[in-house]
Amino acid sequence: MEHFTIATVAEKSPDFRRVLWTGGHTQLVIMTIPPGGEIGEEVHEGIDQILTFVSGTGEARVAGERKEVVSGDLVVVPAGTKHNFVNTGPNPLVLYTVYGPPDHADGAVHRTKEEADAAEAAGHDEPPTA
C-alpha cells in the first residue's frame, strides 16, 4: 500500500515537479510553482489530468476560460484540452495532480521549470510503457 498525507508532502516539496507514484493507468505528481511562475501552456493528448490545489493562489487557464484557484480547489483537464496554471500570488502555488495514463518518467524530480523543460526536450521525461 502507498499512503501519503498528500497536502503535507506537497507543502514540503520545493521542487517544481516530483513524481510520487506511477501505476499502470495513473500517476501522482506534486508541483510547486514559484511566485510569478507557471506550468506552461500545454495539451496532453490521450491523458486526463486532475489538479488539486494545496496552498497559494493562481489562475487556471483551461480551454480559453480563466478562473482563480485557491487551496482546496480541484480542476479537471480532459485529454486534448489546452491548459496552463499561473501563480498569481506572493507565495508558492502548491498542488498535486493525477494523470491518467502517466505522463512523466517514474520517479522524476525536476527542481525548476527550466530543468523540467530540458528533460522533456531531451527525451528524459517519458512515461513508462506498459
Average pLDDT, the chain: 96
Which of 115, 109, 106, 51 minimizes the C-alpha distance to 78? 51
Residues 117-130 as b or e (16 or more Cβ within 10 Å = b): eebbeeeebebeee
> In the chain, what is the straight-line distance between the N-terminal and C-terminal CA atoms, in Å?
21
pLDDT (mean) for 27-54: 97
pLDDT band (50, 70, 90) for residue 129: confident
Helical spans, DSSP H, in the chain:
6-12, 113-121
| Dihedral sign for Cα atoms in the order 115, 120, 121, 123 | positive
For residue 130, what pLDDT is reported? 55
pLDDT tens column, 65-77: 999 999 999 999 9
